[in-house]
């Protein structure tokens, strides 16, 4: 087949589909009533995924119902069916509808925070080309959200369409999850997370909502799910080391850590375009506060701050430190020096060079020094690692390592949406991990060597705090997994 024949075949393919979807648009009201439950559940998932007030582009938007339900500040819908676009403009005049084939999409220099492809990729001629056409309309924080039917549902859906119980379609691609991830990679995207939704797409009082909330998230029932969701981000440039230097703020929460202060001042490195170190002292019984004051006075002209914590807990101290930080990059370093300050530049590089958007320290890879972590603490960390990887949809090997690094602008989004979970985390680790996952940030583990403390005793109380963490996991499961 020549390239001209291939082009002509693709044109005929698109013409058949335009005619088909124009016909569907003319019968849209009756079809909507039959598939109303499925589309309402899709809307719930997308409302959970996409915060209101952001810029959203939906490709293959039909009449724009899904786009309207996420309440964007700027909503643009693309569709190649004139009938669909005409109906959408009448129903949702506040949205911007563009009549265009996604294969030839060109919106100039407009970029979006979220790009949605809902039940689209199984119906198009060239999936990779569409992904490539979307790339110019992304920025570093853009998230591409895709949902598509599972191949297992091919025959049940075909039967439902013959009975008039589902929207009629033409021959489908039926891509596997591996196919989609491969095409995303070829087009310059990388997958952040993926999961399943919906095992019962029919409106059945009480039963349907319960089945769809729990079963798609639990093995082996999730293998039967109808819809697979993928969240992807633009793959960052590969020019390692060429990222512009960024200002850094290191937050050190210190309680009863006077013996570690001199070492911290000496060993915290200068990073990026400049580093400030913010000490937050919280009710020490030794002379931690006075020791920090003396160390700061001995280094005039250096960028140090000392804050007195009025609340309780490391989480409260970290939030106070972040609120007073001026850097683009926010870091947490425990005052006990169990994580070496000399490792911080590795966290900085991973963030600034785009390898991840939330860099999470991991203590469970390399052998530890004797007494660095008690056996029961180690077991607890491994349990929470498994639980969190399942909850967040991303591998997280160590949830309680104190060293975490993220962008300031992402932290501000976490703060703005903190009410979704509530301020129930005294450590701050779970608060940040939950928040980053909810905002679809790419979490990357950074293995480090964990050392025994040389002064004082840990402030962690195994049984009291362990039970609290279990309660938090259960609470988060309802908010993240079984929403």
Residue 424 lies in a domain: yes
- Does residue 327 sit in the same domain as residue 410? yes
- Does residue 257 sit in the same domain as residue 201? no
Residue 297 lies in a domain: yes
The domain in which residue 103 lies consists of 3-234
| The pLDDT of residue 388 | 80
10 Å CB burial of residue 399 (0-12, 13-18, 19+) is buried
- Does residue 201 sit in the same domain as residue 273? no
Residue 241 lies in a domain: no
Residue 240 lies in a domain: no
| The pLDDT of residue 329 | 98
Alpha helices in 97-246 (DSSP H): 127-134, 154-162, 177-186, 207-214
Alpha helices in 298-407 (DSSP H): 314-323, 344-352, 375-392
Residue 125 lies in a domain: yes
Residue 239 lies in a domain: no
Of the candidates 181, 199, 234, which is a domain's last residue?
234
Nearest in space to 115 (alpha carbons), one of 75, 83, 151, 62: 75
> Cα–Cα distance between 194 and 407 in angstroms, integer?
23
10 Å CB burial of residue 104 (0-12, 13-18, 19+) is exposed
- Does residue 252 sit in the same domain as residue 387? yes
Q: 133 and 102 in contact (C-beta within 8 Å)?
A: yes
pTM of the model: 0.88
| The pLDDT of residue 450 | 81
- Does residue 287 sit in the same domain as residue 225? no
Of the candidates 178, 208, 234, which is a domain's last residue?
234
Tell me: the pLDDT tens digits for 227-248? Answer: 999 999 999 876 554 678 999 9
- Does residue 217 sit in the same domain as residue 256? no
| The pLDDT of residue 14 | 87
CA angle 39-44-48, nearest 5°?
A: 145
- Does residue 229 sit in the same domain as residue 305? no
Q: Spell out the residues 6+ positions from residue 244 whose beta carbon is closer than 8 angstroms to its own.
A: none
- Does residue 44 sit in the same domain as residue 179? yes
- Does residue 120 sit in the same domain as residue 156? yes
Of the candidates 188, 206, 234, which is a domain's last residue?
234
Q: In what order do the strands lie in the sheet with 274-281?
A: 304-308, 274-281, 247-254, 329-332, 404-407, 358-362, 443-447
CATH number of 198's domain:
3.40.50.150
Q: How far is CA 150 from CA 40, 153, 158, 480, in A?
A: 19, 6, 13, 22
CATH number of 307's domain:
3.90.550.10
Token pair of 60 as six digits: 């293959």
Length in residues, the chain = 483
Q: What is the H or E stretch that residue 56 is in?
A: strand 55-59
Residue 126 lies in a domain: yes
Number of domains in the chain: 2
- Does residue 218 sit in the same domain as residue 286? no
| The pLDDT of residue 346 | 96
Low-confidence stretches of the chain (pLDDT < 50) are: 241
| The pLDDT of residue 377 | 63
- Does residue 45 sit in the same domain as residue 172? yes
Token pair of 55 as six digits: 């810029």
Residue 242 lies in a domain: no
Nearest in space to 142 (alpha carbons), one of 190, 194, 78: 190
- Does residue 259 sit in the same domain as residue 405? yes
| The pLDDT of residue 400 | 78
Positive or negative: CA dihedral 119, 123, 128, 131: negative
């Amino acid at each position: 087949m020549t390239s001209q024949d291939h082009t002509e075949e693709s044109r005929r393919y698109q013409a058949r589909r335009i005619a088909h979807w124009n016909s569907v648009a003319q019968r849209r009201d009756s079809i909507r009533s039959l598939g109303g439950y499925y589309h309402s559940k899709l809307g719930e998932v997308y409302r959970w995924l996409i915060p209101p007030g952001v810029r959203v582009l939906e490709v293959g938007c039909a009449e724009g119902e899904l786009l309207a339900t996420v309440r964007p500040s700027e909503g643009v819908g693309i569709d190649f069916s004139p009938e669909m676009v005409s109906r959408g403009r009448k129903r949702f005049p506040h949205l911007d509808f563009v009549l265009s084939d996604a294969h030839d999409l060109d919106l100039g220099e407009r970029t979006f925070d979220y790009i949605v492809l809902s039940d689209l990729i199984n119906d198009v001629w060239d999936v990779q080309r569409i992904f490539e056409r979307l790339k110019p309309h992304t920025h570093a924080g853009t998230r591409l959200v895709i949902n598509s039917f599972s191949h297992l549902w091919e025959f049940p859906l075909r039967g439902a369409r013959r009975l008039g119980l589902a929207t009629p379609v033409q021959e489908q691609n039926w891509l596997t999850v591996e196919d989609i991830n491969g095409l995303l990679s070829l087009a310059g995207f990388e997958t952040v997370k993926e999961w399943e939704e919906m095992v019962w797409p029919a409106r059945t009082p009480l039963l349907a909502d319960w089945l769809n909330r729990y079963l798609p998230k639990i093995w082996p029932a999730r293998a039967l799910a109808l819809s697979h969701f993928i969240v992807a981000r633009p793959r960052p440039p590969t020019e390692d080391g060429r990222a512009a230097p960024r200002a850094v703020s290191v937050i050190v929460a210190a309680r009863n850590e006077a013996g570690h202060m001199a070492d911290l001042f000496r060993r915290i490195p200068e990073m990026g375009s400049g580093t400030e170190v913010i000490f937050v002292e919280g009710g020490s019984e030794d002379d931690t506060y006075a020791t920090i004051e003396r160390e700061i006075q001995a280094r005039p002209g250096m960028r140090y701050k000392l804050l007195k914590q009025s609340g309780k807990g490391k989480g409260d101290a970290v939030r106070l430190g972040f609120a007073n930080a001026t850097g683009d990059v926010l870091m947490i370093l425990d005052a006990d020096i169990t994580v070496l300050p000399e490792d911080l530049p590795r966290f900085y590089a991973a963030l600034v060079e785009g390898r991840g958007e939330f860099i999470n320290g991991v203590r469970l890879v390399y052998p530890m020094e004797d007494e660095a972590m008690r056996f029961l603490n180690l077991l607890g960390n491994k349990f929470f690692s498994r639980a969190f990887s399942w909850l967040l949809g991303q591998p997280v090997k160590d949830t309680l390592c104190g060293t975490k690094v993220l962008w300031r602008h992402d932290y501000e989004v976490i703060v703005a949406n903190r009410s979704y979970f509530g301020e129930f985390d005294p450590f701050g680790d779970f608060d940040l991990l939950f928040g980053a996952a909810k905002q679809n940030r790419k979490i990357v583990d950074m293995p480090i060597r964990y050392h025994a403390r040389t002064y004082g005793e840990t402030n962690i109380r195994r049984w009291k705090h362990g039970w609290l963490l279990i309660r938090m996991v259960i609470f988060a499961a309802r908010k993240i997994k079984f929403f």
